[in-house]
Amino acid sequence: MSFIDDIFGKLFSDKGQNLSYKENFIQTAEEENEVSEWVKSTEGKEAIEKVYRNFHLKKAGIKDNPEVHILNSPYANGFAVSFEKPFDEKIFSRLFFAFGQRLLDLGYRRVSLDRKMQEINDMVKITEKLYYKPPISASEVSEKIDQLFGNVSIEKVSVNNKPSFLKVLVTIYSDHLYREAKPFDQFVEGLLT
């Protein structure tokens, strides 16, 4: 069934099923260069520094805008940044891609860039996702594989075309084939400083 068939089936059906659609998309070389230049700009440096500062404030039990939420579990760690002032839509979007560029600098390879649109009740949720894995070389076949910090996903979530939050999640490999993951705090330092 095609996307159009899904839409017509939804519009002219009594089933009441929610629509969901996923697609890959690309970031052009021009867009990548814009983000690279933005990261070096005063605005870019201040935005990333604000996330870094608020991450550490949250760890100390202090909340500041935009609020940073810390995510902890035995096999996954991360943080989410709420869409709040002083960030606007443009800064928020650039942060999403800037985090991705920083992962490349940390030695990761990008595996995918996709967008998922979901109808949930009377809302439309759009999740753009960057997914990264550590590089694996053939020379590591006889050794344990360096997972760096683990696999990393970066998501930008919008509800009804309004940004909601950015989420960075690091999931470690617990398989015996991999070396122990580097500490999450070291990941945060590399990503945000």
Cβ–Cβ under 8 Å, residues 166 and 69: no
What's the angle, vertex CA 115, arms to CA 114 and CA 118, rounded to 5? 145
3-state SS string for 53-121: HHHHHHHCCCCCCCCEEEEECCCEEEEEEECCCCCCHHHHHHHHHHHHHHHHHCCCEEEEEEEEEEEEC
Question: Does 164 fall in a domain?
Answer: yes
State the total domains in the chain.
Answer: 1
Question: Does 79 fall in a domain?
Answer: yes
Question: Does 153 fall in a domain?
Answer: yes
Question: Does 78 fall in a domain?
Answer: yes
End-to-end CA distance of the chain: 46
Question: Does 106 fall in a domain?
Answer: yes
Question: Does 26 fall in a domain?
Answer: yes
Tokens coding 117: 């649109």
Q: What is the pLDDT tens value at each position of the chain, 193 positions in all?
A: 565 566 555 555 555 567 889 999 999 999 999 999 999 999 999 999 999 999 999 999 999 999 999 999 888 999 999 999 999 999 999 999 999 999 999 999 999 999 999 998 889 999 999 999 998 765 556 788 889 999 999 999 999 999 999 999 999 988 888 889 999 999 999 999 9
Tokens coding 152: 């990393």
CA–CA separation, 22 and 128 (whole Å): 10
Read off φ and ψ for residue 6, nearest 5 degrees: -60, -45
Fill in the amino acid letter for 25.
F
Question: Does 8 fall in a domain?
Answer: no
Cβ–Cβ under 8 Å, residues 83 and 156: no
Q: Checking DSSP bridges between strand 151-159 and strand 68-72, what pairing results, if any? A: unpaired
Which structural domain, as residue segments, surrounds residue 168? 20-192
Closest alpha carbon to 170 in 144, 131, 136: 131
Closest alpha carbon to 75 in 175, 157, 166, 146: 175
Question: Does 35 fall in a domain?
Answer: yes
Tokens coding 177: 């084939």
To which H or E segment does residue 35 belong?
A: helix 29-40
Q: pTM of this prediction?
A: 0.87
